[in-house]
Structure 1
Amino acid sequence: MDACCRVSLAGETVLLLAGKALYWPAQQMLVVADSHFGKAASFRALGVPVPRGTTTQNLQALDALLEQVACRQIVFLGDFLHARAAHAPATVAAMLAWRRRHPQLLLTLVRGNHDLHAGDPSSLLGVSMVDEPYRLGPFAFCHHPDTPSEAYVLAGHVHPVYHLRVGHDGLRLPCFLQGPSRLILPSFGAFTGGHAVRPAVGEAVFVLADGAIFPLP
């Protein structure tokens, strides 16, 4: 098992990373979906006792990816912030501190359904806001996988996981779901659930586990 899988999409070589992101070498671009920054803070604002530190965990995961590949831009495929409560001072401060460490990065957010409710992130983060589908080269960067487009769709929203069974044991593991016209990325956020998927004919699943990624036979 390796930390990445090299695949060809729409004539372009991309890397599916075990860190729950896609890397497009030709553009030195990382693509991540459904980070849901501030989700834990949103739950705590509603009185639900959940752990702190998920925003820091997400940012550390981004840093790990930036150490792995040469990156000049990141495209977020929607649901960057979880809710309006994600604008909490501590959450914003952590994100601004991360941004100050990476001032050279170009950041683009394709608005998702949570972004419409949460509102745009702080302008101090320097994130370019776009609506789906966001076209670049042969790809359409989207939040919703079913967004109509003539280009190959890269999307999130589903939080795909695969139920891997071995005998009487089973695991729910995050995965990429690759099809003829679209690729659905796993949820990047540390505090997000998952939706079990079953590949249809012509679709492939790449499962993530223990820092590795592997295609299912």
Structure 2
Amino acid sequence: MTVSSVSVAVHVANELLLLLPEKAVFWPAQGMLIIADIHFGKAASFRALGVPVPRGTTTENLAGLDALIEQHGARHVVFLGDFLHARAAHASSTQLAMLTWRNTRRDLRLTLVRGNHDKRAGDPAAALGIELVDEPHQIGPFAFCHHPDLDMESNAAYALAGHVHPAWVLATRFDSLRLPCFVVGSHRMILPSFGSFTGGHTVKREAGDTIFVTSGEAVHSVR
């Protein structure tokens, strides 16, 4: 069964980017899929502390990633930090799932812009073949970051960042709904957290920001 989804095209830094309902961004000109805060091994980290949380989140994240790569023909995936959640993410079951997936995607270029959780968790296994860089990492007109509040005054590049796990509340007089969102400003974009079991932080719109919420099936601008 094929499930169609509705993305939104935005133009920033004179480039076309697609905001995807699956909480990712695709840069068609570069064949690049941009992912924020996938947090591999978060559930395993909680279980290591004795918290009974569901299994299977790593498999779910990999399946979601795979689907987007296939759908858009991505050649390069850039992770905007927090690839691993904690040192417990190096558990054998988590590592085996990632390595098994990587062996099916050996031609795919992977880049990780280290985030705060990556510094605590340690770098991913070398066998995953991931290029490891620090923020800001510039490609073309974009500075790939983890922290959206990184001092970019000396850098004219447009920042793409994560870290916040942004969410937006849609409310009526009688009900409300909290959805992941993209925050698109004049100098930076904040992506929602891609990972399952990662939660979200309700954001406020700053001057010049456009908010795009995702239902999982379509992206909509918020007026």
| TM-score bracket relative to the smaller structure | over 0.9
CA distance in 2, matches of 1:144, 1:64: 27
TM-score, normalization by structure 1: 0.98
Residues 152-183 of structure 1: CA deviation (Å, up to 9, x unaligned) = 00000000000111222111100000001000
Aligned to 1:47: 50
Aligned residues: 217
Match of 1:17 among 20, 28, 34: 20
Give how far 1:106 is off: 0.4
- Give 4+ residue runs of structure 1 displaced > 4 Å after superposition: none
CA distance in 2, matches of 1:56, 1:166: 36
Instruction: Give the share of equivalent positions with the same residue, in percent.
Output: 60
Residues 46-95 of structure 1: CA deviation (Å, up to 9, x unaligned) = 00000000000000110111122021100000000000000000000000
Gaps of 5+ in 2: none
Give how far 1:2 is off: 5.3
Is the counterpart of residue 160 in structure 1 residue 163 in structure 2? no
CA distance in 1, matches of 2:159, 2:13: 10
Tell me how large the CA RMSD over aligned residues is. Answer: 1.1
CA distance in 2, matches of 1:215, 1:168: 21
Superposed, which structure 2 residues align to 1:22-37 within 5 Å?
22-37=25-40
Is the counterpart of residue 105 in structure 1 residue 117 in structure 2? no
CA contact (8 A) 1:2 1:214 kept: no
Secondary structure, aligned partner of 1:40: helix
TM-score, normalization by structure 2: 0.95
Aligned to 1:145: 148
Aligned to 1:127: 130
CA contact (8 A) 2:22 2:216 kept: no
Residues 114-148 of structure 1: CA deviation (Å, up to 9, x unaligned) = 00000000101000100000001000000000112
